[in-house]
Amino acid sequence: MNTQSVEVLQLSLHGFTVGYLLGYQNGQNILEFDAGFISNQERPTLTLSAHFDHPSSARLFSEPWARRQRLHPVLSNLLPEGVLRDWLAQVLKVHPDNEFPLFSALADDLPGALMARPLDLAEVPPELLQRRPNIQLAPRTEYPDQLHFSLAGIQMKFSMHQKDGRFTLSRPGKLGDWIIKTPSTRFKNVPQNEFTAMSLAKLVGIDIPDISLVSIDELEDLPSINLPDEEQAFAIRRFDRDGKLGRIHMEDFAQVLFKYAHDKYRVASTEQIGKIVYGFTGRRLANIQQMARRLLVNVLLGNGDAHIKNWSLFYPDRITAELAPAYDIVFTKAYIKDERKVALNMAGNKNWYAVNMSHFESWANSVGVPWRAVKPHLNEVLDTARSLWPGALDSLPMADEHKSVLRQHWQVLHPDFRFTDL
């Protein structure tokens, strides 16, 4: 058999070696798991179905993860999409679908706590070379510092560190604690839209990280990118970073479900996500009640983009999954004139003008959570939103034309959710 040139990355999670990712010159990618990690009953959780007690964990580790060009979805979904991916691929001079070099370039500061380190030949475990005798290590590739971090998603965004009122790009040894979303070149006033929607969500009990609008002048070291003539960016504190705990592991539901980002709108329903949240998280009742609140908020705020990558789990104790705080809540109808659908099916429905309380009851029954444990939370969201949102909206920074569209949206929802006193 011909010898093949490969690069090898050691993957680690909270100091434990997960395995070794081999990137072949022909585009094949193979993750060989470390035997000690598989057998360790106290190992940190890489992905939900890899939890030691999960019924699928033994099968999950029974063979290496092998893919071509793209990485396994658990790894692939750590990489950006859209314009940020295209920009990175252009800098690296690789095809955007050739994910190993993207992953390798960004592997020191990935979302969550997974880390990767390139190995020299002397560092590669002998047992790995015995299993893969036909490999020859390629020279280690050096990458520019501006490619230090990775953030999932389509929008142009940056991991940045805040100090003395300034934001600087994260660097090796200096993790970013905020995500900064710069203004969109396609849509106007997106930072103000997201800040407003997230602020309204917080008013009705949605768990969100700290958020802020920051001046573009406060952002340092940004790469050379095209920005519109807008003065503010949206800042959200990273819930996967902690000043004392360091990295906190997390995964979005594309990773949980082993699906690629291009399938984020079509491969799951809110019932499927709910069953996982209620069946496999630590604070399962509180988590499913929070999920119910968010589902209603997405309807009330006309958010048509709550796909599976905008729902996440995180692992504060390194082992047990919990529902992560909400992020990426945007009034999308402000930009898409005929928008009238949420991203994922609930009780067979996506149309937010048709959805009513019976759809939520059907969702709860399908998930297996008692309706009596969910309905009071929905009532509280609705009562609080009707009471506080109209006045709060007046003082929030959303563009006036978007505020007008949002008020119209509230007036034409199903009578169960309609705002009548505006």
Question: Cα–Cα distance between 247 and 263 in angstroms, integer?
Answer: 28
Residue 223: predicted pLDDT = 76
Residue 388 or residue 93, greater confidence: 388
- Judgement on whether residues 198 and 56 belong to the same structural domain of the protein: no
- Judgement on whether residues 129 and 166 belong to the same structural domain of the protein: no
Question: Cα–Cα distance between 309 and 331 in angstroms, integer?
Answer: 17
Pick the closest to residue 393 from 287, 299, 301 (CA basis). 301
Q: Which two tokens stand for residue 152?
A: 């999932």
Quickly count: other Cβ atoms within 10 Å of residue 253's Cβ: 24
Residue 197: predicted pLDDT = 98
- Judgement on whether residues 244 and 318 belong to the same structural domain of the protein: yes
- Judgement on whether residues 124 and 210 belong to the same structural domain of the protein: no
Report pLDDT digits (tens) over 18-54: 999 999 988 999 999 999 999 999 999 999 999 988 9
Quickly count: other Cβ atoms within 10 Å of residue 78's Cβ: 24
Model confidence at 153: pLDDT above 60: no
Looking at 62-123, list the stretches that DSSP marks H as alpha helix, in order from N- to C-terminal side. Answer: 73-76, 82-92, 99-106
How many distinct helices (H) and strands (E) make up the chain? 13, 19
Question: Cα–Cα distance between 406 and 404 in angstroms, integer?
Answer: 5
- Judgement on whether residues 96 and 236 belong to the same structural domain of the protein: no
Give 168's contacts (C-beta < 8 A, 6+ positions apart).
160, 161, 220, 221
- Judgement on whether residues 37 and 171 belong to the same structural domain of the protein: no
Q: Which two tokens stand for residue 275?
A: 């069953």
Residue 148: predicted pLDDT = 59
Number of domains in the chain: 2
Question: Cα–Cα distance between 177 and 329 in angstroms, integer?
Answer: 20
According to DSSP, residue 122 is labeled G
Residue indicated by tokens 């004392």: 244
The answer to the question of residue 149 being in a domain is no
Report pLDDT digits (tens) over 356-387: 999 999 999 999 999 999 999 999 999 999 99
Model confidence at 155: pLDDT above 80: no
Q: Are 280 and 251 in contact (CB under 8 A)?
A: no
Residue indicated by tokens 């314009």: 83
Classify strands 166-169 and 157-163 as parallel, antiparallel or unpaired: antiparallel
- Judgement on whether residues 123 and 164 belong to the same structural domain of the protein: no
The answer to the question of residue 56 being in a domain is yes
Q: What is the CATH number of the domain that holds 187?
A: 1.10.1070
Residue 84: predicted pLDDT = 80
Residue 152: predicted pLDDT = 63
Lowest mean pLDDT among 9-13, 128-132, 259-263, 292-296: 128-132
Q: Which two tokens stand for residue 233?
A: 């960016």
Paired strand residues for 180: 158, 235
Pick the closest to residue 194 from 295, 294, 331 (CA basis). 331
Q: How confident is the model at residue 151 (pLDDT cuts 50, 70, 90)?
A: low
Q: Name the phi and psi angles at 145, rounded to 5.
A: -60, -30
Q: Which two tokens stand for residue 49?
A: 């179905």
- Judgement on whether residues 86 and 220 belong to the same structural domain of the protein: no
- State which H helix or E strand residue 169 sits in: strand 166-169
**The domain containing residue 46 runs over which residues?**
4-135
Report pLDDT digits (tens) over 65-103: 999 989 999 999 999 888 788 888 888 888 999 999 999
Choose the catalytic residue: 109, 305, 317, 338: 305
Lowest mean pLDDT among 242-246, 360-364, 387-391: 242-246
Question: Cα–Cα distance between 18 and 31 in angstroms, integer?
Answer: 9
- Judgement on whether residues 362 and 310 belong to the same structural domain of the protein: yes
Q: Annotated catalytic, 240?
A: no
Residue 175 identity: L
Give 225's contacts (C-beta < 8 A, 6+ positions apart).
87, 156, 182
The answer to the question of residue 144 being in a domain is no
The answer to the question of residue 405 being in a domain is yes
The answer to the question of residue 140 being in a domain is no
Q: Are 88 and 158 in contact (CB under 8 A)?
A: no
Q: How confident is the model at residue 150 (pLDDT cuts 50, 70, 90)?
A: low
The answer to the question of residue 80 being in a domain is yes
The answer to the question of residue 418 being in a domain is no
Residue 132: predicted pLDDT = 84
Classify strands 135-137 and 4-13 as parallel, antiparallel or unpaired: parallel
Report pLDDT digits (tens) over 164-221: 889 988 776 678 899 999 998 889 999 999 999 999 999 999 999 999 999 999 998 7
Classify strands 4-13 and 16-24 as parallel, antiparallel or unpaired: antiparallel
Question: Cα–Cα distance between 204 and 97 in angstroms, integer?
Answer: 40
Model confidence at 145: pLDDT above 60: no
Q: What is the mean pLDDT of the chain?
A: 92
**Would you mind telling me the total number of residues written for the chain in this entry?**
422
- What percentage of the chain reaches a pLDDT higher than 90? 71
What number is the average pLDDT over the span 304-322?
A: 96
Residue 143: predicted pLDDT = 65
**E strands of 268-348, at which residues?**
312-315, 322-323, 341-346
Paired strand residues for 242: 246
Question: Cα–Cα distance between 313 and 100 in angstroms, integer?
Answer: 24
Paired strand residues for 213: 234
The answer to the question of residue 373 being in a domain is yes
- Judgement on whether residues 274 and 205 belong to the same structural domain of the protein: yes
- Judgement on whether residues 271 and 166 belong to the same structural domain of the protein: yes
Q: Select, from the ranges 2-6, 223-227, 321-325, the one with the highest average predicted confidence (pLDDT).
A: 321-325
Model confidence at 146: pLDDT above 70: no
- Judgement on whether residues 77 and 166 belong to the same structural domain of the protein: no
CA 111 to chain centre: 8
Q: What is the pTM of this model?
A: 0.94
What is residue 17's three-state secondary structure? Answer: strand
Q: Are 375 and 396 in contact (CB under 8 A)?
A: no
